[in-house]
Amino acid sequence: DAGVIQSPRHEVTEMGQEVTLRCKPISGHNSLFWYRQTMMRGLELLIYFNNNVPIDDSGMPEDRFSAKMPNASFSTLKIQPSEPRDSAVYFCASSLFTYQETQYFGPGTRLLVL
Amino acid sequence: AQRVTQPEKLLSVFKGAPVELKCNYSYSGSPELFWYVQYSRQRLQLLLRHISRESIKGFTADLNKGETSFHLKKPFAQEEDSAMYYCAPTPGANSKLTFGKGITLSVRP
């Protein structure tokens, strides 16, 4: 298994543009997590899916952020419109069941909004 | 309220020296605690979790409920231990992890 796959690895965009980040979890894992990492705030959980259903989205910063998981093997995190303060590294992680299980992280997407 | 505190951002030691990476949490009861590590150019990965009571790569972490701490320790640091370390407690079952800000460990030859 290649582990959690994220694309793109790097994204540079201009303020106001739509950004879509993609994640493929490990096959067989039932939980998927999106995190954002910044110097100021560290690693923050944005949203958690279990069996493709959003369970906890309390970390989603505002309406500009949305996440979907249409099936067990794919999830997207969308920012529309993007702002410079969204610049960060976005990680996707998956686990077998819930929070309590080991989370396996993807390589991250480094986003820069100009 | 801050639920996990890693008070130091950087720890630099020489090879062979003991290492203690501090972590304090503010949950009551019986939290579950994890340490994750990110080596240079690698993914964030689990190092150890409290419930398993394992020693991974020579690291151990003891839960001290009185001090609400879960410090990570290694008696003799190696250069390959240089990495970013994150403490991540959760209040209990079905509760999300909260990651600390992380600490960079630098082990010099």
State the best of A40, A99, A104, A109 to mutate against chain B, taking most chain B CBs within 10 Å.
A99
Inter-chain residue contact B99 with A106, CB threshold 8 Å: no
pLDDT tens digits, one per residue of A58-97: 999 889 999 999 999 999 999 999 999 999 999 999 999 8
Q: Is there a contact between A80 and A64 (Cβ–Cβ < 8 Å)?
A: yes
- Of A62 and B76, the one with more pLDDT: B76
pLDDT at A82: 96
Three-state DSSP at B29 gives coil
Closest CB to B99 among A3, A43, A98: A43
- The percent of residues in chain A predicted with pLDDT above 90, rounded, is 84
How would you classify the pairing of strands B103-108 and B10-14? parallel
pLDDT at B1 exceeding the cut of 70? no
pLDDT at B2 exceeding the cut of 60? no
Residues of A in contact with B50 (CB under 8 A): none
pLDDT tens digits, one per residue of B30-61: 778 899 999 998 999 999 988 777 778 999 99
pLDDT band at A25 (very low <50, low <70, confident <90, very high): very high
What is the Cα B80 distance to its own chain's centre? 16
pLDDT at A102 exceeding the cut of 80? yes
pLDDT band at B62 (very low <50, low <70, confident <90, very high): confident
Segment holding A111, helix H or strand E: strand A109-113
For the ranges A15-19, A62-66, B23-27, the maximum mean pLDDT occurs at A15-19
Q: Is there a contact between A82 and A19 (Cβ–Cβ < 8 Å)?
A: yes
* A 32-71 residues inside an 8 A Cβ radius of B: 35, 42-45, 48, 56
Distance in angstroms (rounded) separating the CA atoms of residues B12 and B23: 17
pLDDT at B94 exceeding the cut of 80? no
Residues of A in contact with B86 (CB under 8 A): 42-43
**What Rg do the C-alpha atoms of chain A give, in angstroms?**
13
pLDDT at B17 exceeding the cut of 90? yes
Q: Which amino acid is at A73?
A: S
Three-state DSSP at B71 gives strand
